[in-house]
Each structure stands twice: as C-alpha cells, then as structure tokens.
Chain A
C-alpha cells in the first residue's frame, strides 16, 4: 500500500511538473465579420471586408492615428525637399514578408504604382507624380511635377483602397486582375492561412512571429501593431440572430455588426459588452443623378436639401439616440474639417421653403425615380423616409424597390429613368472614406469621370484641386468650408446624419482598437 501511495505521489508530481512546463494554450480569437470574405485582393476591390482582411496581412507605409494625424508605419523616416517636390522615404529595419524575404524599396514602389492605378486618391497622386525611384534597398523617392499637399494623407489613407505594400512580383499583377491565393503574402502582423480558407465558412490568420511592431503605443491604425492572440478566425455566420446566439453561447468572441435591432438584447447579457470601436461612424447619404430631369436642375436639388432633415432617417434605421448623431458637417463631426459653414438654411425639413424653391425652379411634376434597396437592413427604411420628405415639399416620387445588387448595377446606367436609369438612391459611407473634399467620392464633380450621379461643376473641382495642393491645415479647413458653401448652391448628394455600429464582444476580450476599421492587433482574451 505504501508503495502505491509513493508511486501515486511521484506520478502526480511528474504530471504537475509537466503541466507547468507545457506552453500556454494557443489563444484563438473567433469573430463574425459583417460579411464573408470572397475576394482576397484589397486593390482589386473596394469592399470593406477585403480592406479589413488587408489590414491583417499587409502593412502600410503610413497610418492614421485616432486623432486623424498621419504617422509613419513601415517608414522609419521621411523628408521632403525645400521645393516640396521630392519626398524621400526610408523603411524600418527588419521588415520581412511572410515568406521570409526582406521588404525592399522596390516592393514599395511597385505597390504604390498598382494602388495608384486603381484608387481614386492614388490616381490623383500619380497624376502629379513625375517619378517614383528606388534609391537603395531601403529608400525610395516620390518626385512630383508640382507641390501636392496630400502625399502623406494618400499613403496613409485609412479606407478602401488602402495602399498596402506587397512583394514586387505580386504588386506587378495587373490592377484589374485579382492576385492569386498563394500570393496573399504580406508583412503585416498576421499570416493568411490559404490552406484553411473555406469560402462561406471561415478564414484563418495566425500570428506572424517575425513581425516587428513599432515601439509607439497603438493609436487608431498607427503605432505598434502587437498581435496578442495566436490565431484569428473569421467565422462566417450569415444570419445575424445565429451570430448573436453564438456570441452569447461563447462559440465566438466578437460580432462586428450585430444589427441595431439586436442591441437591446445584447445589452441585457451579462457576458457581453458593446464597444463603439469606430467613433467617427458612418454617414447616410442621398445621391442625385444630375443627368436627368428633375435633378438636372441645381435649384430643384436645392429644394431637396432644404426639404430634408436628418433625424427621421436616423430614427427609422437606428432608433436609439445612443447610436446616432445629427450632423450638418459634410466631412464628419469630430474631425479636423468639421464645419457648419453654409448649412444654416438646409437640412431643416423646411417643406414650405422647399415648395417655394420648386415653384421658382419651374418644377413640372416629373417624378423622381428613387431606388430603394430592400435586402440590406441598414438601408431599407431610408427610401420611404426620403419619399415622404420630398412629397411633403411637392415632389412626385416613384419609389422602386429592388435588391442591393440590382441597384448597384442600375446606378451605373446613364439612361433616362424611364429607360432603366434612375434619379436618386440612398446609401451609407464609412466616415473614414469622406474625411476631406478629395476623399469624398460623391463630391467628385468631374462630369463623366465622376462617380454615378455624374455631377459636373468646375468650381467644386477647382476647390478640390486647391485642397489637394494645400498642406497647411488652416488653409485646408478654409477650402473645406468653401466646398461646403458651394455644395449648397450645387448639391451633389445629401448627407443624412452620422450613425454608429458598435461591435459586440464577450467581456473577457480586451484591447479592441478605436479605429475606423476593425483590426485585430492589441486584442487579447483574459
């Protein structure tokens, strides 16, 4: 019997020692993102889910911090010549691709060229670029034809298309061809596991053990990107109710977009917390098509912006005031370019004044063909509110319901509304995409080259050009105010308020970054 106890105690001691010596269990962070990852190339598409995937795998030269300042990320140091024409960038030491090869200046030059061929802000930057040249393995130069004020803002652009740095052989892929699955090789804090990617089911990333984060604390999308979990799994759950149940049951750690109608339920759950990780949020937007009657007449569009008010739109979709804010500033409240200049008499829901403007404009009762998206919960209720507000002012509105993909295809058509075209539709922008007059796609008023809706106004374009050449923040703000005032005379779209979509996380999760994009560095599980 004594022998038995000796052996038992001995075995227990060995087992205990082994347990102590064993490495800590690998930590997996399971997330339900807002949609499934179908495309892997963040330059090929502007889809936000691909952008978020990009931030895990690839790194950027510069990044925007939570105060909207652009900070170096892969870049160790940079300088600009006195004539403001030559920017010199030097990469940090020790940057490595996931396949073990070093990150070089050649890679960065090729990546900027591919991004610059595709992204609207990149195209503008490339339009003023004379030359991109490699100085040595770690240094390259951007030589401009004329001074351009948004070089760093462009390279540190937070949202789609983000200028992610890729290996040269990958970055040399035609920008209109998607990169191969095997080429999803970055230098970012996580490595994409191509062998575990099951479209419609899950996407897997593992911690990049060789990633060298910056020393600064993380802030927004800038600073030290420290991967604290070993593995990130994006579990695709299409049904939002199921995603919520999975979160409550602890099968996933986070739901990126739980949906506003489910927030009250989640607030009651003791193990769940709601985090507004994107404090700038999103902006609902009504888009005019200026090619056809009645919105080809700027005065009729003025009547529309006078007739509309933001609160009913926000109420119809979001409901709880905690998650929305009325904001007349085009370039988002809470950002450096926030201003209400020129906005006093618009967005007040003044239907009497709008009716007067319609009369002065000679509105002949041509119906507004308003496209309503019915399959995206966050957009469905917007069109009926717009219809009601416009009709109150005297517009005739023909609201046509369709699924979002039909709308997306139809909005590219320049045909008249009675031949398959359109007059207006509603959508939502992520605030990070519209922080200034150059970034804001709907302000592009370059006629045929503009986004669907095709506004055409030399004055707005002149102001946007001025803004892009200006680097003094005070002068940039003055130009932004001028743009806003011009917009009141020549409306291109209507901004209908800011709204927030909190992420739902289990309470044992810590370190979610406050950033316009959902990122996974700094996140840990207790």
Chain B
C-alpha cells in the first residue's frame, strides 16, 4: 500500500512539471498585458513600458521562466503583480472559504442524495422513484446561478431569514459562519444531489440483481439490512468516484456560486487573476488545483480498497 502511495506521489512530479511549463507558456501567448492593466486606462505607452520593465516582463521568455521556476523550487511562489502580497498569502486567505463551501456542499449532498438514491432504487418504478428522478433532472437542468438568485429572493429578500451575501470565517463564530453557508451550500448541492442520487440509484439497482442479494434475502435478512449492508456497500465504488470527482471540481469550479453569494474563495481569485493577467497568481493557483486533483484521485483509489477488499494495490 505504502509503495503504491509513494509511486503515485512520485508520478505527480512530471504531471506538475508539465502543468507548470504549459501554464507559463499559455499565459505568455495569451493576448493581454498586465503592465497595461496596472497602469490604468489613462496611462501613456511610456508609463506602460516603465511598469513592464519593472516587473521584468520585457525579459526574454526563457529568462522569465528560469527566474520564476528557480524561485518556485526554493519555495518562493512570488508576489502578485497587483496586490503587494505574496501569492502564498493570497491563496491562504482564499482557500478556507472554498474548502468550507466544498465541505458543506459535499456533506449536504451525500446526506441527502444517498438516502434518496437508495430509496428510489428500493421503490424502482414507483412514485418515489419518479419524484426523485424528476428532481434529479431538474437539478441538472437549472443553472446554478438561477437557483442561487431564486433562493436569495425567497429566503433573504422576501423572508429576511438569511443574508444575501458574504462569508464569515469559522473563527468569527459558528452562527455567523453557518448563516452565510446555508444558501450557497444548498445552491451548489442541487447539482450534486442530482448527480449522486442518480448514480446511487443506478448502482444500487444493478447490485440488487446480484446473486448474493438473492442469497441474503433467502437467508431471511430484513429488507433494510439487505439494502444498506449488502446492496449499498457493494454499490459504493461508483458513488465514491463521483463524490471524489465532485470534490475536485468544487475546489476549482465553484466560481459561479462564489460570485452569486460573494464568497471570496479560490475560484474568484482565479477569475480575477485571469481577467487582470496576474501571471504569478494564475500559475500557482493552477498548480494548486493540479495537486488537489492528483491527491483526491489518490484518496479515491485508496477508498476503493477499503470498500471492496478484492481491490488490492
């Protein structure tokens, strides 16, 4: 097992190297000039040139890459072109809201979607199944921002039960944190509930047709035990895969929800950095996403062996 983990971690090095080079080159080839953004709309060409020189953007590409890469290897992730802050500092500030939003969304999604999926599978073809699948189709079809604005209109504007926007860190109090997490988590959870409940239903239905389920029933086990202990556990591998991919996608992909609810997360940092061509920030954020994807996939693989003892590495 440890050898497997070590092999997988070593295998990430070329992946990250490729990502680093690719992102660096892609940014330099993309139209747009951070010096022009910094200088502002009323700046003259001379002012823009002076800032470009100051940032080292007038150096040859290879020199720029060498400077950036050697600094990165020594643990210096550089400084944002705009904020007088290091990239590490910016990411540290923004990672908590995104991780918390992802965590709340996943907890909420799993605790709603798996029971719904199992229930729908157990009542396959019945009205429960139809309602769950109907909601699932709706969850997939309605864009996240529509759900977001709708929830804001009902629960924040009409009833004034919850705030429209913002984020409070856990250290500022659980109640303040929770109040601002409810609507974004429900908004994001909609699509994950739709996805996970569908996968759960399909996987459990498939498992329910297996011989060992018939054997378990023949032994006289209660239906609930058959469903939860035998069917669900054996159906877990695809469900875990979907949840894992969902977590990875959330870390980098919650940008719309973060925008609608004004959550200063890593997704918004990325978009702001891309719009402003803040190269040092974009490069490191994408590397962080890559590391997150690799690690989450590793955890998923390890989870397989826990859920299914036949899988061994």
- Taking beta carbons and an 8 Å cutoff, which residues of A are in contact with B? 36, 38-40, 44-48, 50, 118, 120, 160, 176-178, 180-181, 198-201, 235-239, 241-242, 245-246, 248-249, 251, 375, 402-403, 405-406, 408-410, 412, 427, 433, 441, 449-452
Contact = CB atoms under 8 A, between A and B. Distances in A.
Main secondary structure of the interface of B (DSSP, over half): helix
Contacts, number: 135
B149 interface: yes
A164 B82 CA distance: 20
A178 B84 contact: yes
A405 B165 contact: no
Most buried by A among B41, B53, B83: B41
B51 interface: yes
Interface of B: 31-33, 36-48, 50-51, 53-54, 80, 82-85, 90, 93-94, 149, 152-153, 156-157, 160, 163-167, 259-262, 264, 268-269, 272, 275-277
Given A199-B93, A449-B46, A452-B45, 16 more contacts: A38-B82, A40-B84, A44-B38, A47-B41, A180-B84, A199-B83, A201-B93, A241-B149, A245-B164, A249-B163, A402-B31, A405-B276, A409-B36, A410-B31, A433-B42, A441-B44
6 nearest A-B residue pairs (beta carbon): A46-B40, A409-B33, A38-B82, A201-B264, A46-B42, A47-B40
Contact of A198 (B46, B54, B93, B149): B93
Contacts of A246: 164-166, 262
User: Interface majority SS on A: helix, strand, loop or mixed?
Assistant: loop
B32 A406 contact: yes
Contacts of B51: 44, 176
Instruction: Identify the interface centre among A40, A178, A236: most chain B CB within 10 Å of its CB.
Output: A178
A14 to B, nearest CB: 29
Contact of B37 (A118, A408, A433): A408
B165 A242 contact: yes
Nearest to A180: B84
B90 A242 contact: no
B260 A239 contact: yes
B271 to A, nearest CB: 8
A456 B276 CA distance: 31
Contacts of B32: 403, 405-406, 408-409
A40 B85 CA distance: 11
Nearest to A375: B275
A403 B37 CA distance: 12
B44 A449 contact: yes
A406 B42 CA distance: 16
B38 A403 contact: no
A98 to B, nearest CB: 18
A177 B37 contact: no
Contacts of A450: 44
A181 B38 CA distance: 16
B41 A181 contact: no
Contacts of A251: 163-166
A132 B59 CA distance: 37
A405 B37 CA distance: 7
Contacts of A409: 31-33, 36, 277
A513 B247 CA distance: 48
A235 B90 CA distance: 17
Contacts of B149: 241
29 contacts: A36-B272, A39-B82, A50-B40, A120-B44, A176-B50, A180-B84, A181-B85, A198-B93, A198-B264, A199-B83, A238-B268, A242-B165, A242-B260, A245-B152, A245-B157, A246-B164, A248-B157, A402-B31, A405-B275, A406-B31, A408-B32, A408-B41, A409-B33, A409-B277, A433-B42, A441-B42, A451-B44, A451-B45, A452-B45
Nearest to A241: B149
B164 A177 contact: no
B42 A242 contact: no
